[in-house]
Amino acid sequence: MDEKIISRVDLMKICKDVIDKGNTLLTPGAADYYVVKDISDIILDTSALPSKISHKSYVFPRTEPVLYYKRSKNDVQLIDINIDSKKIVILGAKPCDANSINIMKHLFNWDHSDEFFNKRANNFMVIGLMCSHFDEYCFCTSVRSSPVSEKGSDLFLIPVDINNYALKIITEKGKEFISPYSGYLKPGDEKNSKLITENVRQPEAAFDSSEVYEWLGENFESPKWEGVGNLCLSCAQCAFVCSVCHCFDITDEDYSYTEGRRMKNWDGCQFGNFTLHASGHNPRDIQSKRYRQRVNHKFRYYVDRFGEILCTGCGRCSRGCPVSIDIKEIVSNCNDNQKEFLK
């Protein structure tokens, strides 16, 4: 791995160049990842809280057309979508967020490849930034990640002093991106950056994901699900702010008498009608079953299928939950029968 030093000023020059070339530059804000218009807006704060909503919508939009149709007397004409595939550079992604596209890639590419996802994902250039924040909801260290994890980043930034960053070049894509700007780079000192990353405060691992995996396999019918099922209000806040939740709905909408489009929209497994059959039968008819599905999908099913945990430990879902249901608390208490409040 190659490591360089870049000053903040030079980094901003690169950012400006990215914007000037017509590419999209994303950076995390308090509420959402936003498109940078002016480089003076860029904060690059390692101690910031993860934004309320993840950057998922830039690779998997909350709503997008998958085809257009035009009805005439008997016939229907179908028009393919031209996927807008602008290059997106994401600057200062939290290590938890940086890995999300990699995790989702498995799902969107097994068996059938989803070109909508892939085209966007391939155009993503992730510049990760070490994280020095953690609060009661963070648990990246429990899901095979950490505040200094480079997983998913093409380039990774570590602030070495107030004006300079150590820049690690992780992937070929990152190397390609940075090569035109090699004039800005100075040789790096791996020892120094290693010392910094080793001293970053890390959230203590709250649970062992393989133990959770085992527990879920054996406790599908556990009475514990009922407690959390009673509490959960069936919104999709958790799924929609999540950086790896990927379920969607397909629906048609007409915009004139003869024309319309087929939309792919975010959908959430906590909604009661998510699995509702037309006949009225519903396999996950009560909230406890739906919550069980959510936890199982993240910590068991996805591991079975793709070998990865469908969770980055960012804690967004818990931080924003209307009734403060904390997924970390739930999975870390699952094995403990003394904890009566799995609620």
Residues 98-117 that bind other proteins (CB under 8 A): 107-108, 110-112, 114
Tell me: does residue 225 bind other proteins (CB under 8 A): no
- Judged by CB under 8 A, the chain residues 149 through 188 that form the site for other proteins are none
The order of strands in the sheet holding 259-266 is 76-79, 63-71, 259-266, 248-254
Pairing mode, if any, of strands 248-254 and 259-266? antiparallel
Cβ closest to other proteins, residue 185 vs residue 342: 342
**Which helix (H) or strand (E) element contains residue 147?**
none
Per CB under 8 A, the list member of 94, 120, 284, 328 interacting with other proteins is 284
Tell me: does residue 279 bind other proteins (CB under 8 A): yes
Closest distance between other proteins and the C-beta of residue 162, in Å?
28
Cβ closest to other proteins, residue 192 vs residue 229: 229
Closest distance between other proteins and the C-beta of residue 75, in Å?
5
Tell me: does residue 218 bind other proteins (CB under 8 A): no
Integer Cα distance of 153 and 12 in angstroms: 19
- Judged by CB under 8 A, the chain residues 60 through 89 that form the site for other proteins are 62-63, 67, 69, 71, 74-76, 78, 80
Tell me: does residue 37 bind other proteins (CB under 8 A): no
Pairing mode, if any, of strands 24-28 and 88-93? parallel
Closest distance between other proteins and the C-beta of residue 290, in Å?
10
Check: CB of residue 325 under 8 Å from CB of residue 318. yes
Integer Cα distance of 88 and 19 in angstroms: 10
Per CB under 8 A, the list member of 132, 171, 222, 234 interacting with other proteins is 234
Tell me: does residue 21 bind other proteins (CB under 8 A): no
Integer Cα distance of 234 and 255 in angstroms: 30
Cβ closest to other proteins, residue 46 vs residue 61: 61
How many residues bind to other proteins according to rule CB under 8 A?
85
* Two structure tokens written together for 292: 């069980």
Cβ closest to other proteins, residue 190 vs residue 254: 254
**Which helix (H) or strand (E) element contains residue 127?**
strand 124-129
**DSSP letters of 183-238?**
GG-EE--HHHHHHHHHTS--PPP---HHHHHHHHHH-TT-THHHHHHHH----SHH
Cβ closest to other proteins, residue 103 vs residue 158: 103
Task: Output the CA torsion 106→107→108→110 (10° steps).
Answer: 70
Per CB under 8 A, the list member of 8, 42, 301, 335 interacting with other proteins is 301
- Could you tell me which stretch among 93-101, 148-156, 177-185, 236-244 binds other proteins (CB under 8 A)? 236-244
